[in-house]
Structure 1
C-alpha cells in the first residue's frame, strides 16, 4: 500500500504553506490595527482642532489658493478673499482647521496626482504638528503657535561673520 505512505517533502511543503499563510494573516492584522490607530489619531486631532478659537497660518498666496480650491465650501472660507503676492498670514478658526485637516488628509492618501499629494501632505503635517501641541484641558494655556508653511532656511550670514 505505497499509495498511503506519507511523503516527508509534501508534509514539509504543506507546513511551509501554512506558516506563510499565517504570516500573511498576521501582517494584514497588524496593517489593519495601524490603520485604525491612525484613524483614531486623526479623529482626536480633529476634535482638538475644533476647540481652537483661532490660529494663524503663514503661507504663500499660492499655498492658500491650494487650500481654498481643495476645501471648497467645507472650510467656510470666503473664496473672494484675495491675498497679495508673496507670504501672507491668514487667521483660521477651529472649524477652518478641521476642514483643512479633513481635506488634506483625504488628498494625501487618495489623490492620484503626485503634486497634490505632496502639497496636501505638507499642509496636513504642519497643521497637525501645531494641533497636537495644544492641550484641550488647559483653559488658560499658551496661545496657539503660528502654522508656518515655509521651510526656507533663515538668513545666511554675511561673508566674514
Structure 2
C-alpha cells in the first residue's frame, strides 16, 4: 500500500494529479490486501483439514494398540444372577450398617468399591484398637460394595487373593443381611473371627487338683461307723 501511495504518477501531472489518483490507489491496494488475506485463509483452512485427518489417524492407531479386555471376563462381569439382584434389593432397605474389620481390609474395600458411583466414604472411621476400625456404611454404599465384590469374584485371577477376599466379604455381608425386620438392632458386619478358647480340662474331667490329689471341696468326710439303732438306748457300761 505504501508503495502504491508513494509511487510517482505515470502521467507526470504533479501534486494535483497525485491527489486525484489517491482514492484509486487505495482501492487498488485494498483489493490486493483482500486477495492476499483470502489466499492465506484458504491455505490455513487446508492445513487445518489436513491436521484433523492426521489426528484421526493417530486416534485410530492408538485404539488398535490399546489392549482389549477379555470377552469372557467382560461377559461374566455383566451377568447378574437372581440371587445377587435379590441381595441388592435387600440391601436397599438398610439405612446404615456398622462394619468392623482390620485396617487392611478397609483399604481393600475402599480400593475396589471407591470407584463405584454409589459408594460414599464415611466422614468418620473409628479406631477400635488392635489395628481394627469401625465404619458406618449406608445402604447405598453397601450396594456399591456388593456390586464391586461380585465383579471381583468373577474377574480376579485364581490365587491372587482378590477373589478370596471378595468372596469372603460378600458372604459375610450376605449373612449379616438375613432376617431383616422394620424394627430391631442396626445391622453389624463383623470381620474379626478369632480362635475358640481352649477348654479347661483340669476342672471339666475329674475335678481333681493338680498332682493327682483329691480336690478339697470343704465338706467333711462322711462317718464310716454304722449308725446305732434308733430304737435302742445306750445302756450302762458293763464292768
Q: Normalized against structure 2, the TM-score is what?
A: 0.44
Assess if the C-alpha contact under 8 Å between 2:98 and 2:135 holds in 1.
Answer: yes
Residue 151 of structure 1 is matched in structure 2 by 193
**CA contact 2:122–2:136 (8 Å) conserved in 1:** no
Could you tell me which of 89, 104, 110 is aligned with 1:68? 110
Could you tell me how far 1:154 is from its partner in structure 2? 3.8
Deviation of 1:133 (Å): 2.6
1:122 partner SS: helix
Task: Classify 1:87/1:160 alpha carbon distance in 2 versus 1 (closer, same or farther; 3 Å).
Answer: farther
Report the equivalent of 1:106: 151
Higher helix proportion (structure 1 or 2): 1
Unaligned runs of 5+ in 1: 1-35
Over residues 58-112 of structure 1, what are the superposed CA-to-partner deviations in whole Å (9 max), with x where a residue is unaligned? 1000000000001123212169969676122111110111011111111112211
- How many matched pairs? 121
Whether contact under 8 Å (2:122, 2:137) holds in the other structure is no
| TM-score normalised according to structure 1 size | 0.64
RMSD: 2.6
Q: 1:142 is matched with which residue: 184, 200, 206?
A: 184
Which has the larger Rg?
Answer: 2
Asked if structure 2 preserves the Cα contact closer than 8 Å seen for 1:45 and 1:132, the reply is no
Structure 2 residue runs without a partner (length 5+): 1-78, 204-239
Per-residue CA deviation, residues 96-152 of structure 1 (Å, 9 max, x unaligned), is 110111111111122115300000000000001112332xxx43x222342111222
Higher RCO (CA 8 Å, separation ≥ 6 residues)? 1
